Amino acid sequence: MSESNYEAINWNEISDQIDKATWEKLTEQFWLDTRIPISNDLADWRTLDDDHKWVVGHVFGGLTLLDTLQSQDGMAALRRDVRTKHETAVLNNIQFMESVHAKSYSSIFSTLNTPDEIEEIFQWSDTEEFLQNKTHRIYNLYHDDANPLKKKIASVFLETFLFYSGFFTPLYYLGHNKLANVAEIIKLILRDESVHGTYIGYKFQLAFNELGENEQQELKDWMYNFLYDLYNNEEKYTHLVYDQVGWTDEVQTFIRYNANKALMNLGQDPLFPDTAEDVNPIVMNGISTSTANHDFFSQVGNGYLLGNVEAMNDADYDVKDPNEK
Ligand SMILES: [Fe+2]
Ligand SMILES: [Fe+2]
C-alpha cells in the first residue's frame, strides 16, 4: 500500500452536527463514582433481608459484566466502522465512561458487601448461564467485522434493553426511599446509556437508510429474531434473579417496554404491546428523573452539571416498606 496522507481531526469543519452535539452532551454530563457518598446508604442496606440483599448484589454483578463488555469490546468494535473522525472521538468518550460504569459497581460492592460476598458475586457473574449467554451473543457480533450494522444493533440492544433487568432494582428502591445514593449512581449510568443508545441508533439509521429494500427487510427480520432470542434468555434470567422476591412479572414488563425503546432508537416499530403505563409507576418515576433530557438533540446544553448531583434524602420521597411488593 502506498502511503496515503494521515489526516488530522478538524473540529471547525463538522460534517455531522450530531457528532458535535453528542460530544458536548457527553462531556457536559461527565461524572465519577467517587463523588457519590454511597456509605450514606448503609443504614438502609441493613434493613434489607438476605434475599433482597442477594438481588441487589447480583444484578450489579450482571451489570458489571455488561459494562465490561462495552468498555473492552463494544466501542472498539464500533470504532472500526465510523463515518467521521468526530464519531471516533465520541466513541472514545463512550468507551471511557463504560469503564467508569463498570468501576462504579465495585465502589458499591466495597461499601455494602463483605470481601467474601464480593468474591461470590464475581464468581457468579463470570459463570452464570443466562448472563454468559447474552454476553457471548453480543461479543460474537462485536467481533464479526463482516456485519457492521449487526454490531450497532447489538450495541443498542445492550444499551437500551439488556441493562434494564438490572436497573429495575435500584429504581425500585429509589421509589421506596431506599438506597438513594446507589440509585444516584445508577441514574447517572442510565443517563449516559440513554445518550449512547440514541447516538449509536442514529448512526445505524444513517447506514440502514442507504441499503436497498431487500437488504433492509433481511436485516429487520434478523433484528426482530435476535431481540426475541435475547428476550427469551432475559425471561429465564429474570426468573433466576427475581423469583425469590416476587418481582419477576414487573421486571419483565419493564424490560419489554425497554426492548421497544431499543427498536425505536434503531428507527423500527415496537415488538411488544407494553407501554410506559404498564410499568410500575414507582420505577417509571425513578427513570423519568434521569432521562428528562432524553430528547437530547434538541436540548444540548440543558443537562445538569456534575455539581448538581446531590445525595438524596428522606424528604425526597414517600417512605414505604422496601420489602413490600
Ligand atoms: Fe455503561
Ligand atoms: Fe453505554
How much is the average pLDDT of 107-114?
97
Measured in Å, residue 99 CA sits from the centre of ligand 1 at 8
Q: Is the C-alpha dihedral spanning 128, 145, 148, 101 positive or negative?
A: positive
Give CA–CA dist 190/290, Å, rounded: 7
Residue 47: half-sphere exposure toward Cβ, Cα within 13 Å: 13
Ligand nearest to C-alpha 66: 1
Query: How far does the centroid of ligand 1 lie from the alpha carbon of residue 70, in Å?
Result: 7
Calculate mean pLDDT across residues 86-92.
98
Number of domains in the chain: 1
**Ion ligand 2 residues within 5 Å by Cβ:** 159, 193, 196
Asked if residue 23 belongs to a domain, the reply is no
Please report the DSSP string for 212-276 in residue order. -HHHHHHHHHHHHHHHHHHHHHHHHHHHHHHGGGT-HHHHHHHHHHHHHHHHHHTT---SSS--G
Is the pTM higher than 0.85? yes
Rounded to 5 degrees, what angle do the CA atoms 83, 85, 87 make? 65
> Is residue 305 pLDDT above 50, yes or no?
no
State yes or no: is 139 an active-site residue. Answer: no
Kindly state whether residue 282 falls inside one of the protein's structural domains: yes
The ligand minimizing its distance to the Cα of 99 is 1
Cα 104 to ligand 1 centroid, rounded to whole Å: 10
Note the ligand closest to the C-alpha atom of 156.
2
Domain presence at residue 7: no
Within-domain flag for 207: yes
Q: Using pLDDT thresholds of 50, 70 and 90, give the confidence band for residue 284.
A: confident
Q: Residue 311 is part of which domain span?
A: 37-317
- Chain Cα centroid distance, residue 110: 22
Catalytic residue among 6, 105, 142, 242: 105
Give, in order, the Cα–Cα distances in Å from 21 to each of 26, 88, 93, 101, 300: 9, 14, 13, 22, 6
Tell me, what's the pLDDT at 286?
Answer: 76
Specify if 181 maps to a domain.
yes
Q: Provide the pLDDT for residue 304.
A: 34
Query: What pLDDT does residue 3 have?
Result: 86
The residue among 44, 21, 325, 27 whose CA lies nearest residue 184 is 44
In a domain, 26, yes or no: no
Distance from Cα 320 to the centre of ligand 2, integer Å: 32
**pLDDT tens-digit profile of 245-272?**
999 999 999 999 999 999 999 999 999 9
Would residue 322 count as lying in a domain?
no
Give the CATH number for residue 269.
Answer: 1.10.620.20
37-60 residue pLDDT tens = 999 999 999 999 999 999 999 999
Mean pLDDT over 274-282 rounds to 91
Give a yes or no: residue 21 inside a domain: no
